[in-house]
Amino acid sequence: MRREKQVVGNMTFYDSNVLIAYLFREEDKFDVARHVLKKHPTKAISIISIHEIHMYSMKFGVEGKFINIKESLHKLFKILPLSQDICIKASRLRRIYGLPEVDALILATAISEKYPHFYTFDGDFKELNGKKVEGTLIHFLR
């Protein structure tokens, strides 16, 4: 039973911007992103993150590189889909916390799947830093 709790505690959900900072070596965020990505063995992202990373790769002219790594992302991360329940939860989170829709959808996915940790660089989560939202601890990375 103790091992099971340890594994659950190590489950982590990452906002798209953490992967973007790491994959695109954003100089002011890369080291922090690398650290938090290594910190937990069980990693997950929203299916929305795949789209956001793809859009970012197009913006910086490296879409071909993204296409090459896209298929391997599922080996490194559990990629979670959206559901009607997640969408309903996101609407509630958006209203309560004033989050933009996409941010609310990503956080709702983490909460719905019972991930105890959520890491983000997104300033929309700054006020939630260090707080638990329905069992998920928000880690706003500065």
- Residue 71: per-residue pLDDT: 80
Report whether pLDDT(2) > 80: no
Share of the chain above pLDDT 70, in %: 94
> How much is the average pLDDT of 121-142?
97
Contact 12/117 with Cβ under 8 angstroms?
yes
pLDDT bucket at 8, cuts 50 / 70 / 90: low
Check: CATH 1.10.3470 for 2-81+115-140? no
- Residue 19: per-residue pLDDT: 94
> How much is the average pLDDT of 89-106?
97
> How much is the average pLDDT of 91-95?
98
The ranges assigned to domains in the chain are 2-81+115-140
- Residue 35: per-residue pLDDT: 95
Query: Whose CA is closest to 46, among 96, 120, 99?
Result: 120
Q: Quickly count: other Cβ atoms within 10 Å of residue 103's Cβ.
A: 22
> How much is the average pLDDT of 37-58?
93
pTM (global) more than 0.75: yes
Report whether pLDDT(45) > 90: yes
User: What is residue 64's three-state secondary structure?
Assistant: helix
> Strands 78-80 and 11-14, how do they pair?
unpaired
